[in-house]
Amino acid sequence: MPQSIAVVTPEQVTPEWMTQALAGREIDAKVRSLRMEQVGTGQLGETRRFHLEYDGTPAPGAPKSLVGKFPSANATAAESGKTMGFYRSEVMFYQQLAHRAKIRTPKLYVAEIDKANDFTLLFEDMAPARQGDQFKGCTLEDARKALKEAAMLHATFWNDKELMAQPWLYVPEGAQGFYTTELIERSWDHINKHYTDYLTPEFKLVGDKYVKNHAYWNRPRDFPKTFSHCDFRPDNMLFGGPNDRICVVDWQTSNFLGTGMDVAYFLSGIFDRDTRKANERALLKGYHEDLLAFGVKDYSFDHLMRDYAHYSFAVIAVAIAATLIVKRTERGDKMLMHMALGGALQALDNNALDALPG
C-alpha cells in the first residue's frame, strides 16, 4: 500500500503533495507544477483531474495525469457521505479489497481517510476510456461485459465469512443497507409532493406497495451473500479501456449483502422496457454461467431469478432516498427518477410485487 499521506481538499493538492503521492508508489519524480480540472458532476463527491509537469526527465512510470476524489463541496451531500459511511466504505474498499477483487478498477495511488471522515483518493487517469451514461444505457455487448465483471467480483467474495467479520466492513442486517424504513417512507412522501411529474401509474403502483412493505422486504436474507458494488450502473463505469474491459468506479455504497443486488440494479435502467424484457433472461444466464466458471457452487439459475426479482426494488430505494440525501441537480433529478421507474417496471415484469404482503 502507498505510504500515509495527508488528507487534502482539491485546492490543497500541491506539487509537493503530488510528489509525495508518487513516492508512495516508488516513482522517483519531482512534480514541478500541476493543472486541475473538474471531472463529472458527482452527487456525493468531487472529482478532479490533475495534469502534471515534472522537473527534468521523469522516471519511468511517472503519469502525465492522475484523477483525485474528495468529499462533496455541498454540505448536505458531504454530511450524508460521512454519517452514512459512504466515504469510509469507498476508501476501505481501495485499501483492503481492490487488489484482491478480480473486477477491473483504476490503479490506486492514495486512499486516506481521517477521523472526521474527510478523505482523499488518487487514481490512474483512465482516459481515453469514456464514462458511461445512465440515460444512454448500454449496448448488449457492453451489458455482457459489465455482468462478467460483476461475476468476477461476486465469485471472489462469495459467502466469504472471514471478510464479513472485518470490523470496517458494512454488513447490513437486512436485504439492503443504509436505507431505513423511516427514510424510505419520508422519501416517498417527498417524491409524492415534489416529483409529481415523474409519477407514472406504474411507478405509483409499485412505489406505494413497496414502501408500505419496506420493513418486510428488508428483512434479513439467508446465504448466499457476497460483497457488492450496490450502485452498479453505467455512470460508474468506464468503457473502452485496456483490453476493452470495463472499469468500475465509485464504491461508496459497497457492502456485503444478499446475492442478486448488482445485476438487478444494473439491468433495471440500461435498456428500454421492451429491450430489457427481450434480453434480460439471456444476460442473466450468461452472468450465472460466469459465476459457476469462477468457482461458485450450489447456486441454481432459479435461485438467481428469485434474487433478481427481490432486488428489483433496491434501485427504487436508492433513487427515492437520494432525493433527500445528495446534492440536487437537474440531471440528478432526471437520473434518479429514470432509475426508479426502471426498477418499478422491472418489478412488474418479474412479478416481484407478488412476494410482498397485500
pLDDT, one tens digit per residue, over 40-95 is 766 788 999 999 999 999 888 999 999 999 999 989 889 989 998 999 999 999 99
**241 confidence band (pLDDT: 50, 70, 90):** confident
**Residues in CB range of 246: below 8 A, 6 or more apart:** 104, 142, 145, 146, 149, 237, 238, 239
- DSSP calls for 142-173: HHHHHHHHHHHHHHHTTT-HHHHT-TTS---S
Rounded to a whole number of angstroms, the distance between the first and last alpha carbons of the chain is 52
| pLDDT value of residue 41 | 66
Strand order of the β-sheet with 119-124 is: 31-38, 45-54, 65-71, 119-124, 108-113
* Displacement of CA 79 from its chain's centroid (Å): 18
pLDDT at position 340 over 50:
yes
pTM: 0.93
Q: What is the mean pLDDT of residues 157-178?
A: 96
**137 to 43, 127, 296, 331, 342: CA distances (angstroms):** 19, 20, 29, 15, 12
CATH 3.30.200.20 in the chain is located at: 10-124
Top-confidence residue, 84 or 206:
206
Distance between CA atoms of 358 and 342, rounded to whole angstroms? 22
- DSSP calls for 263-309: HHHHHTSSS-HHHHHHHHHHHHHHHHHHHHHTT--S--HHHHHHHHH
Distance between CA atoms of 349 and 4, rounded to whole angstroms? 50
pLDDT at position 2 over 70:
no
Residue of 97, 104, 106 whose CA lies nearest to 152: 104
Share of the chain above pLDDT 70, in %: 98
Distance between CA atoms of 193 and 10, rounded to whole angstroms? 37
Q: What is the mean pLDDT of residues 191-207?
A: 96
Instruction: Give the CATH fold of the 10-124 domain.
Output: Phosphorylase Kinase; domain 1 (3.30.200)
* Residue corresponding to grid cell 515534472: 54
**259 confidence band (pLDDT: 50, 70, 90):** very high
pLDDT digits (tens, 9 = 90+) for 305-316: 999 999 999 999
Q: What is the mean pLDDT of residues 157-181?
A: 96
Rounded to 10 deg, the angle between the 301-310 and 273-293 helix axes is 130
**293 to 148, 299, 323: CA distances (angstroms):** 11, 12, 39
Distance between CA atoms of 261 and 232, rounded to whole angstroms? 9
CATH 3.90.1200.10 in the chain is located at: 130-355
Q: Which CATH number fits domain 130-355: 3.40.50.2300, 3.90.1200.10, 2.30.130.10, 3.40.190.100?
A: 3.90.1200.10
Q: What is the CA radius of gyration of the chain?
A: 20
Share of the chain above pLDDT 90, in %: 89
Strand order of the β-sheet with 130-131 is: 130-131, 237-239, 247-248
Q: What is the mean pLDDT of residues 197-213?
A: 97
- DSSP calls for 45-76: EEEEEEEEEESSSPPTT--SEEEEEEE-SSHH
pLDDT at position 319 over 80:
yes
| pLDDT value of residue 326 | 80
Q: What is the mean pLDDT of residues 2-31?
A: 92
Backbone angles phi, psi at 166, to 5 degrees: -70, 130
| pLDDT value of residue 1 | 45
